[in-house]
Amino acid sequence: MPNLVLLGIQGSGKGTQAYLLKKNYGFDHLNIGSLLREEMKKKTDIGNDIKEYMLKGDLVPDKYIFSLVGPILHDNLKGVILDGFPRTLKQAEFLEKRMPVRCAIYFELDDKIAKERLSHRRVCQNCQQNYNLLLNDVKKDNKCSKCGNPLELRMDDNSEAINRRIAAFHDETKPVIEFFKDRDSLITIPATKKPEQIHQEIVYILGLAKPA
Ligand code: AMP
């Protein structure tokens, strides 16, 4: 099973595609944003230090990211999806030295659509499942259909933080896209297609076989 990197502006559907690949093909999903939120929740030293960046919608400085992902990444990992990492060139170089990646899949999406999707996103505070009011997939009781807990707006899904996250994507993460392009390992998929259609496209491009 190959290791994959998922790239794209927030709201481009990386989490949804990671979920489908995990569910249907048994990939491991490493979501860096969730790891960071977990540190904040547990009020660890790192969690306390990164809080301000996360709330504002700025990227967390590389040194924190390296200390969190450094111990996880190694060159015999297989079938891992990196979701939300790398987001800076330094992080891409860090990754390249530690583990092989078959390709980076870039979900291309307009800023305007990303903003719209993020401001309509609701997240289960318990299991982290994402929902979107635009897709009418939120039930009237505003509860998670997987675990029944209340859905909430994410702390950084407000317009100020959304704008800063989009700016960070253009300034810091766009060069990462070029990084993978230069290595002939970039796949670009328009993120406006339906999630299931995008999933099938990924399966076809990577030639994934259903697990027995
Ligand atoms: P996400 O859950 O992927 O939308 O990420 C939420 C927030 O976590 C981002 O806005 C950043 O503040 C932080 N973050 C996530 N991944 C990274 C990363 N690779 N480098 C720096 N900050 C990150």
Is there a domain that residue 122 lies in?
no
CB of 92 sitting under 6 A from ligand 1? no
Is there a domain that residue 70 lies in?
yes
55-87 tens-digit pLDDT: 999 999 999 999 999 999 999 999 999 999 999
How far apart, in whole angstroms, are the C-alpha atoms of residue 130 and residue 65? 23
Is there a domain that residue 85 lies in?
yes
37-51, 125-139, 182-196: which range is least confident on average?
Answer: 125-139
Is there a domain that residue 175 lies in?
yes
Is there a domain that residue 99 lies in?
yes
When pLDDT is averaged across residues 41-49 and rounded to a whole number, the result is 96
Is there a domain that residue 86 lies in?
yes
- Number of domains comprising the chain: 1
138-159 tens-digit pLDDT: 777 889 988 899 999 988 889 9
Residue 126 has pLDDT above 90, yes or no: no
1-36 tens-digit pLDDT: 999 999 999 999 999 999 999 999 999 999 999 999
Report yes or no: 107 and 191 within 8 Å, Cβ to Cβ.
yes
Is there a domain that residue 197 lies in?
yes
Round the average pLDDT of the chain to a whole number and report it: 93
In terms of residue numbers, what domain contains 42?
4-111+160-206
> Which atom of ligand 1 lies nearest, measured to the CA of 86?
19
52-62 tens-digit pLDDT: 999 999 999 99
Active site residue 37: no
**Residue 101's domain is classified under what CATH number?**
3.40.50.300
Per-residue confidence band for 95, with pLDDT thresholds at 50, 70 and 90? very high
170-199 tens-digit pLDDT: 999 999 999 999 999 999 999 999 999 999
CB of 80 sitting under 6 A from ligand 1? no
> Which atom of ligand 1 lies nearest, measured to the CA of 57?
10
SS (H, E, C) 138-150: CCCCCECCCCCCE
- Return the DSSP state at 209: -
Q: Which tokens in the block code for residue 52?
A: 């301000």
How far apart, in whole angstroms, are the C-alpha atoms of residue 113 and residue 154? 18
Of 59, 65, 58, 57, the C-alpha closest to 93 is 65
Report yes or no: 106 and 177 within 8 Å, Cβ to Cβ.
yes
* Residue among 37, 115, 122, 154 flagged as catalytic: 154
What angle is formed at CA 170 by the lines to CA 168 and CA 173, rounded to 5 degrees? 75
Q: Give the model's pLDDT for residue 136.
A: 65
CA atoms within 13 Å, Cβ hemisphere of 196: 0
Is there a domain that residue 135 lies in?
no
